[in-house]
Amino acid sequence: MKKRMVCGLIALAFVCSSLFIMTSCAKKQIGVSERVEKPVIVEEEKVVVVEEEEKAPVAEEKVVVVVEEEKAEAERRAKAEMLAAKIREFDTENIYFAFDKSDLRPKARATLKKKAAFLRGDFSFRVLIAGNCDERGTEAYNLALGERRAHSAKKYLMALGISGDRISTVSYGEERPADPAHTPAAWELNRRDNFTLLR
Amino acid sequence: MGSKSMFFFLGRVSASLFVWMGLLFFTLLSVPEQCLGRIYIDINAPSIPKFNIAIPDFKNLNENKEHPELAQKLAGVLSNDLYLSGYFNPMDKGAFLEEKGAPMTAEGIRFKDWSVIGAELLLKGGYTCIGSRVEVVVRLFDVFWGRQILGRRALGELRQYRHVMHRLSNEIIRKLTGQDGIFLTKLAFVGNATGNKEIYVSDYDGHNVRQITSDKSIALLPSWSPDGKKLVYNSYKDGGPMLYLKDMASGAVTRISSRSGLNIGACWAPNGKELALTLSRKGNSDIFTINLKGEILKHLINHWALDVSPTFSPDVTKIAFVSNRSGSPQIYTLDLTNGRKERLTFEGNYNTSPAWSSQNRIAFTSLEDGAFDIYTMDLEGGMQKRLTEGQRNNESPCWSPDGRYIVFSSNREGRYHLYIMNANGGDQIRITSLKGDQTSPSWAP
């Protein structure tokens, strides 16, 4: 019995050890075969990737350039439209004065601040300020008053950092009414500075 | 003007001389002492009663009766002149009893027919057309005394018949007042009939209008030289309000001040060699004098305020001008000999447009209750007299060269037109009837 148990144990141990060896051998083999194959595959992949990378940029760049040109065109158009809108706003937004006065009221100052911001942002523009009066009063006096109104705006823009070289003025007195009616409402609209951007 | 017209007045060596001499002799003999050299109209009197004057249509003395329409036209010009002078009340022709073809001499006229309808003076005229010329004779009669006061004959171009009649009107006024009439004077003004403001000139009565600028821009503030041969005005044709001088004889236009800013409201010194005006080349409007080349002579007013509208005194010792140094536009004088300034107007917030007359009064415009009216004052600002009232806006007064009338613009009938009135504000009569507005008059001798 004892002999049988020993034999059995030995046999078991052998089987177990051989099993152990076999499994570890198999593991090693797998490992080896991986080590051998991997570099090849990786190298092949690398080449492919490199080739793809070398080819792709040419193709992709073309696509990208086309896209960017379209975008730039659109952006430029949008910018131009925005600028045109800004110019329109600049040119149409007047400032207004009280009868026989040339001092700037708060609303006029706010408007001029916007204009100064625009002029600071784009040095390619200059501005012509035209001073105007309502129809009441004496022509010569209104010409001088209109000039003073234009100068009020010029001085304020200069105080906001706009160079005086970029600002010219002209007085039209009562000669260029915005509204030709002979009513207080029209007079209010006519006592104004209007602005023209120039390049 | 008038260089082509020829005039043969009474006394000129002609066939009619002896007839006229005879008449004059007869008149001298029969005139009572107190009436000799009588001034019928004392134009310096504070109020002048108007003479009722009858002016029947003129008689066509030509056998062929050419230009029958002149019978009314010639009488019309003369009647309008005498009416505008403010010294006469031309009577309605409908009241005249006289038959056509009635005689033109004191002996033949039935003065009773004229006195019965209230005429104090009777003016008879006749004309003869000779080719392109017309000869006109006028005789003025005192209806009460039944005798001739004046007889004059004039010859001129047919197309300038108004000018011929103005000459005769002047003779009548000189005879009755001892002073020259205004009938040969001229106006310049701004009109916008074309849609642009341009400068126009006309006779004193608003007739014979000529457009003298075609800048298609804005032309403003014309001012005649004292001899009536040159005109300065502003135009925007080169951008800003620059000053131009037009020589009326040659038609040449010169730009004489084109400084940056204003070059406006030039007024002539009485010597015709310099101009006072507003310049703003340094950003502030001041008053300067310049010569006719535009070179600066003097910086008369140097002040931070608005200083505009200079006008010289006739003796050139002072200018009057407008300044807003007090906070509102008021009229000041500057003594050119010592630099002293004096404020003349204190009432109201808007006194502008001073005009200094040869009779040493200053006319100006004042804003009251939303309307502009014309006033006059003495040289210290006293004796103010309001000349217009309750007829909308009345602006830009300008004196006649003799200082007895004022031309101004008013929108009392809708658009702005030119009116004249006498120095006291009497007889305000519209003289322009162009399209659009007529403003900013200047009156030349």
Residues of A whose CB is below 8 A from B439: 139
- Nearest-Cα residue of chain B relative to residue A150: B283
How far apart (Å, rounded) are the C-alpha atoms in residues B407 and B411?
14
Please state the length of chain A: 199
Please state the length of chain B: 445
Residues of A whose CB is below 8 A from B308: 138, 140-141, 143-144
Per-residue pLDDT, A72: 83
How far apart (Å, rounded) are the C-alpha atoms in residues B405 and B408?
10
Asked whether the beta carbons of residue B197 and residue A171 sit closer than 8 angstroms, the reply is no
- Nearest-Cα residue of chain A relative to residue B219: A175
Asked whether the beta carbons of residue A137 and residue B352 sit closer than 8 angstroms, the reply is yes
pLDDT beyond 50 at B436? yes
Q: Which candidate in B308, B365, B366, B372 is best for mutational testing of the A interface (most A CBs within 10 A)?
A: B308
Per-residue pLDDT, B37: 56
Q: Is B372 on the interface with A (CB under 8 A)?
A: yes
- What does the mean pLDDT of chain A come to? 80
Mean pLDDT of A150-155: 97
The candidate with the shortest Cα–Cα distance to B309, out of B336, B287, B339, is B287
How far apart (Å, rounded) are the C-alpha atoms in residues A22 and A27?
9
Residues of A whose CB is below 8 A from B396: 138-139
Q: Which of A138, A171, A175 sits opposite B262 (nearest CB)?
A: A171
The ipTM is 0.88
Nearest-Å Rg of the Cα atoms of chain B is 24
pLDDT beyond 70 at A42? no
pLDDT beyond 80 at A62? no
Asked whether the beta carbons of residue A138 and residue B396 sit closer than 8 angstroms, the reply is yes
Share of residues in chain A with pLDDT > 90 (%): 59
pLDDT digits (tens, 9 = 90+) for B208-255: 999 999 999 999 999 999 999 999 999 999 999 999 999 999 999 999
pLDDT beyond 80 at B13? no
Per-residue pLDDT, B308: 98
Q: Is B344 on the interface with A (CB under 8 A)?
A: no
Closest approach of A182 to chain B, Cα-based (Å): 11
Q: Is A160 on the interface with B (CB under 8 A)?
A: no
**pLDDT range class, residue B196, cuts 50, 70, 90:** very high
pLDDT digits (tens, 9 = 90+) for A1-17: 555 655 555 555 555 45
pLDDT beyond 90 at B42? no
Per-residue pLDDT, A5: 58
Choose between B140 and B33: higher pLDDT. Answer: B140
pLDDT digits (tens, 9 = 90+) for A122-142: 999 999 999 999 999 999 999
The candidate with the shortest Cα–Cα distance to B308, out of B235, B234, B401, B378, is B234
- Measured in degrees and rounded to the nearest 5, phi and psi for residue B232 equal -105, 150
Residue B222: partners with Cβ closer than 8 Å, 6 or more residues away? B188, B189, B190, B199, B231, B232, B233, B440, B442
Q: Which of A140, A148, A151 sits opposite B264 (nearest CB)?
A: A140
Question: Which contiguous run of DSSP H or E holds residue B167?
Answer: helix B161-177
Angle between helices A2-92 and A106-121 (to 10 degrees): 120
Share of residues in chain B with pLDDT > 90 (%): 84
pLDDT digits (tens, 9 = 90+) for B294-339: 999 999 999 999 999 999 999 999 999 999 999 999 999 999 999 9
Residues of B whose CB is below 8 A from A175: 197, 218, 220, 236
pLDDT digits (tens, 9 = 90+) for B404-427: 999 999 999 999 999 999 999 999
Beta bridge partners of A79: none
- Nearest-Cα residue of chain A relative to residue B284: A148
Asked whether the beta carbons of residue A140 and residue B265 sit closer than 8 angstroms, the reply is yes
Choose between A35 and B146: higher pLDDT. Answer: B146
Q: Is B264 on the interface with A (CB under 8 A)?
A: yes
pLDDT beyond 70 at A179? yes
Asked whether the beta carbons of residue B329 and residue A141 sit closer than 8 angstroms, the reply is yes
Asked whether the beta carbons of residue B350 and residue A100 sit closer than 8 angstroms, the reply is yes
- Nearest-Cα residue of chain A relative to residue B367: A137
Q: Is A151 on the interface with B (CB under 8 A)?
A: yes
How far apart (Å, rounded) are the C-alpha atoms in residues B384 and B280?
32
Half-sphere exposure of A98 (CA within 13 A, CB side): 7
Closest approach of B248 to chain A, Cα-based (Å): 24
Is residue B437 classed exposed, middle or buried when 0-12, 13-18 and 19+ CB atoms within 10 A define those classes? Answer: buried
Per-residue pLDDT, A4: 61
Per-residue pLDDT, B39: 75
pLDDT beyond 80 at A56? no
Choose between B325 and A28: higher pLDDT. Answer: B325
Q: Is A34 on the interface with B (CB under 8 A)?
A: no
User: What are the E-state strand segments in A85-155?
Assistant: 95-96, 126-132
Asked whether the beta carbons of residue A140 and residue B308 sit closer than 8 angstroms, the reply is yes
Per-residue pLDDT, B57: 95
Structure tokens at A199: 């390049």
Asked whether the beta carbons of residue B264 and residue A141 sit closer than 8 angstroms, the reply is no
Is residue A91 classed exposed, middle or buried when 0-12, 13-18 and 19+ CB atoms within 10 A define those classes? Answer: middle
Per-residue pLDDT, A69: 75
Mean pLDDT of B107-131: 94
- What does the mean pLDDT of chain B come to? 91
Closest approach of B325 to chain A, Cα-based (Å): 13
pLDDT digits (tens, 9 = 90+) for B363-402: 999 999 999 999 999 999 999 999 999 999 999 999 999 9
Residues of B whose CB is below 8 A from A139: 220-221, 265, 396, 439-440
Angle between helices A106-121 and A139-159 (to 10 degrees): 60
**pLDDT range class, residue A38, cuts 50, 70, 90:** very low
Which residues, numbered 79 to 138 in chain A, qualify as contacts with chain B under a Cβ-Cβ cut-off of 8 Å? 100, 136-138
Q: Is A148 on the interface with B (CB under 8 A)?
A: yes
pTM of the model: 0.83
Q: Is A59 on the interface with B (CB under 8 A)?
A: no
How far apart (Å, rounded) are the C-alpha atoms in residues B58 and B131?
19
The candidate with the shortest Cα–Cα distance to B256, out of B26, B24, A123, B268, is B268
How far apart (Å, rounded) are the C-alpha atoms in residues B103 and A98?
69
DSSP annotation of A197 reads E
Q: Is A197 on the interface with B (CB under 8 A)?
A: no
Mean pLDDT of A103-132: 96
Per-residue pLDDT, A17: 53
Asked whether the beta carbons of residue B308 and residue A171 sit closer than 8 angstroms, the reply is no
Q: Which of B285, B353, B367 sits opposite A144 (nearest CB)?
A: B285
Asked whether the beta carbons of residue A143 and residue B308 sit closer than 8 angstroms, the reply is yes
Asked whether the beta carbons of residue B261 and residue A169 sit closer than 8 angstroms, the reply is yes
Per-residue pLDDT, A61: 54
In chain B, what are the domains?
51-177 (3.40.50.10070), 185-444 (2.120.10.30)
Which residues, numbered 92 to 151 in chain B, qualify as contacts with chain A under a Cβ-Cβ cut-off of 8 Å? none
Residues of A whose CB is below 8 A from B367: 136-137
Per-residue pLDDT, A33: 43
Structure tokens at A197: 């951007």
Asked whether the beta carbons of residue A171 and residue B367 sit closer than 8 angstroms, the reply is no
